[in-house]
Amino acid sequence: MKRNVSLLKYALLIALCCVACVNEKDLYEPSGEDPGETEELDLSFKFALRSDKQIHISVTRADGKAAEGIGVGVYLQQPYEEDGIISGKPLYMGYTDGNGQIDATISVPANSDKLYVASLTAGYPGVQEMDVQPSMTCNLTATVFQIKTATTRMVATRSETGLDVPVDQKLSNLYELYSPYTDSEIGKDGIPLLNASPLVTKEELSAKFLNLMNSWYPEQKNVQDVDLKKSSDLVVTDELGAEVWATYVGDGGFYVNNATVYNVLAYYSYQEGELGRREDIQGHRMTLLLPNTHQQKCPSGLKVQLLYWDGKQYSKVFPKGARIGFAVARDGLNIANVNAANGGVNSKSSYKFKNQTFPNGDVNGFYYSTPSLNATKRTNAVIRNVPDYNCCIMGFDIRPYDDPKTDYDFNDVMIKLTASPVSAIKPEEDIPVIDEFTPSEAVYGTLAFEDQWPKMGDYDFNDFVMNYSYELEKGDNNMITALKLTFTPIAKGAASWTHIGVGIELPLSADNIDKAKSEGATLEEGNDRATFIVWNDVNTAFGTTEGYVNTEGAVVGVSAIPVEVTVRLKTPVSSLLTQKFNPFIFVNSRQREIHLVDYKPTKHADTSLFGTENDRSDPGAEVYYRMDNRYPWALDFPRKEDSSPAWNYPKERVIITKAYPNYEKWVLDQSNLSWFDASVSGNVNKEFLY
């Protein structure tokens, strides 16, 4: 009897242990039945929250011809923030072909109903908003030149020969700023007319040049690593002097507080030793170059000859040793008065210049290329020599240095500077390009895995959660040269003895990977495609060996260390669809891989597990990691940009349908495509979210 009691106690102890183990991570079939025997798989439903769309983009030059080589980006949201700063990378970017066209396949989140198309090349302003459709078309056009016509209002006449420009048209009571134009030479919105002033012509800027300039002054790319105490002025070096021209390139989409502002560009000349102090600009003559630098008004390629002021009159030739500086008045043009019948470009009421003692005065004062004229003693421009194009280029940043919205990208106003003779000018102090920017496109998302495959899970989809970004670098021939993959673990809802590794298979040959220049993950041997192992155990990223990281509300959250994987290609490729990227986890052994639905395992997976337990994979039919039509073992949730939050996953042991009641509608009839968005009213029961 005593022996029987002992056996009973032992049996109860075993039973309790089993219950405890099950409670550690409950396993159950949510519907209460075994779908493996009762349900036919719907192979058309991929559990995907993105779908491929076709887009056709056409770009036209100002003269109506097809624009070749123009960079274009497609965004999931309005790309420009309220101050005209592009907030993130495009979902897709490419360059137009010889017919000025782009045809592309893009992967769009299921809950996105709008796309935004913008030129990444200066001179093609504006953002086109489009409704998401299976097939979409978009047209972009350059800002056109304004040309003098017979109806243009004439105020003064000009000699057909010689230099005859106004010398006494002062535009401000704060500055010695003068206009070299008559009212009749300026068109609508303060834009100089072609065929009017002898100073104004146009120049065709090649797409290669424009894209080079964009790569040297890229949006949101901080260039503070250059020495901004250096002067960004020009110096005339030829013994006989030089004629000098400035060609407008673009403005980088400059806004202030979501309002359009019209900046004024001016220039001045001086000799070495002059303008050493900020107050020296007072009483020093400046000449108006462009009344309006807004790229939706001013055409890229508008070329203006600069004039040298000798104290009495203007001439076309700057003498040897002359310095030429530039200044931008932020929001300096009152465009309504310029267009008024009693206004005009030479009316002081057409300008709203502010206190020149920036930044102690108004931020809308002048910003100078000469460091000594700025309160910070740093230049607000970056000038660079471009020998291949026989020119210099200059980009302005016209926000105060202590402004939190200042991005230091120096593309708020961009100009090209040329001379005759071509080698007669140089930067006073050339500011080199430290790191030339390569345009890229990016996809962002959150991956959520169940770790019990081939068994059913508890479907809280928090066994492993991580954010990712896939960034593809492209050349101007649309060839992909490199990838940057970033992975950030968010949660691990698995027991302490569960070791989860992470890998990704790319749709690339392993032979095309430049191992010497790739870093951040291990390129695994023995696979058909390039496969990288990011972590063998994600506990190292969390810095803990504990189970259940960031899945139980009572526990203090843990921040994981992200990993950035750089993949350089030996031979660039023309196409690389991120929908074919194949991320996976492996649990407690390298052979037990878990992938997204219908994504093929690697050569290292134990394929003998297919068709066991609750798995219904059929490799012969390319069916993988399916159990039924309701619950997969992995889901991929799109995010719009890198700063977007991770998907809000359920708490530990809370089935996804309890936290997200619209999930079932999605899997039943593929409706409710935004079911996973916790910011949408009615989508979630927030008490069940971590």
CA distance 463 to 632: 13
**Residue 458, pLDDT above cutoff 60:** yes
In a domain, 663, yes or no: no
Residues 376 and 461 both lie in one domain = no
Of 426-435, 517-526, 555-564, 577-586, the poorest mean pLDDT is in 426-435
Write the CATH number for 58. 2.60.40.10
**What average pLDDT does this structure show over 587-591?**
96
- The pTM (predicted TM-score) of the whole model is 0.84
Residues 42 and 68 both lie in one domain = no
**Residue 134, pLDDT above cutoff 80:** yes
**What average pLDDT does this structure show over 71-90?**
80
pLDDT in tens, 369-418: 999 999 888 899 999 999 999 999 999 988 777 766 666 778 889 999 99
Residues 529 and 547 both lie in one domain = yes
CA distance 610 to 295: 59
Q: Give the β-pairing of 50-60 and 135-141.
A: parallel
Residues 408 and 462 both lie in one domain = no
pLDDT in tens, 30-57: 544 444 455 788 888 999 999 999 999 9
Structure tokens at 49: 């929250």
Residues 456 and 531 both lie in one domain = yes
Residues 221 and 132 both lie in one domain = no
Residue 482 has a pLDDT of 96
**Residue 161, pLDDT above cutoff 60:** no
**Residue 150, pLDDT above cutoff 90:** no
In a domain, 218, yes or no: yes
In a domain, 400, yes or no: yes
**Residue 82, pLDDT above cutoff 80:** no
Q: Give the β-pairing of 243-250 and 413-420.
A: antiparallel
Residues 493 and 681: beta-carbon distance below 8 Å? no
Q: What angle do CA 674, 449, 588 make, to 5 degrees?
A: 175
What range defines the domain where residue 109 resides? 50-141
Q: Which residue has the tokens 């660039």?
A: 572
Residue 527 pLDDT class (50, 70, 90 cuts) = very high
Residue 272 pLDDT class (50, 70, 90 cuts) = very high
Residues 281 and 275: beta-carbon distance below 8 Å? yes
Residues 41 and 58 both lie in one domain = no
Across the chain, what does the average pLDDT equal?
A: 87
pLDDT in tens, 626-663: 999 889 999 999 999 998 999 999 999 999 999 999 99
Residue 538 pLDDT class (50, 70, 90 cuts) = very high
Residue 28 has a pLDDT of 44
Q: Which of 86, 58, 93, 102 is nearest to 438 (CA)?
A: 93
Give the strand order in the sheet containing 500-505.
Answer: 522-523, 531-535, 500-505, 582-587, 593-595
The type of residue at 662 is N
Residues 554 and 463 both lie in one domain = yes
Residues 316 and 209 both lie in one domain = yes
Residue 400 has a pLDDT of 74
CA distance 497 to 461: 18
In a domain, 639, yes or no: yes
**Residue 12, pLDDT above cutoff 80:** no
Q: What is residue 302's three-state secondary structure?
A: strand
Q: Give the β-pairing of 286-290 and 264-270.
A: antiparallel
Residue 256 pLDDT class (50, 70, 90 cuts) = low
Higher pLDDT, 489 or 257: 489
Residue after which a domain boundary falls, among 141, 165, 199 = 141
Residue after which a domain boundary falls, among 394, 427, 460 = 427
Residue 362 pLDDT class (50, 70, 90 cuts) = low
Residues 410 and 491 both lie in one domain = no
pLDDT in tens, 199-245: 999 999 999 999 888 888 876 555 556 778 889 999 999 999 999 99
Alpha-helical segments (H) within 70-226: 207-216
In a domain, 439, yes or no: no
CA distance 476 to 207: 9
In a domain, 495, yes or no: yes
**Which residues make beta-bridge pairs with 152?**
none
In a domain, 601, yes or no: yes
CA distance 251 to 654: 52
**Residue 569, pLDDT above cutoff 90:** yes
Q: What is residue 137's three-state secondary structure?
A: strand
CA distance 473 to 688: 40
Domain count, the chain: 3
**What average pLDDT does this structure show over 420-449?**
86
Residues 423 and 332 both lie in one domain = yes
Residue 26 has a pLDDT of 44
Residues 277 and 368: beta-carbon distance below 8 Å? no
Residues 221 and 354 both lie in one domain = yes
Residue 158 has a pLDDT of 40
In a domain, 315, yes or no: yes
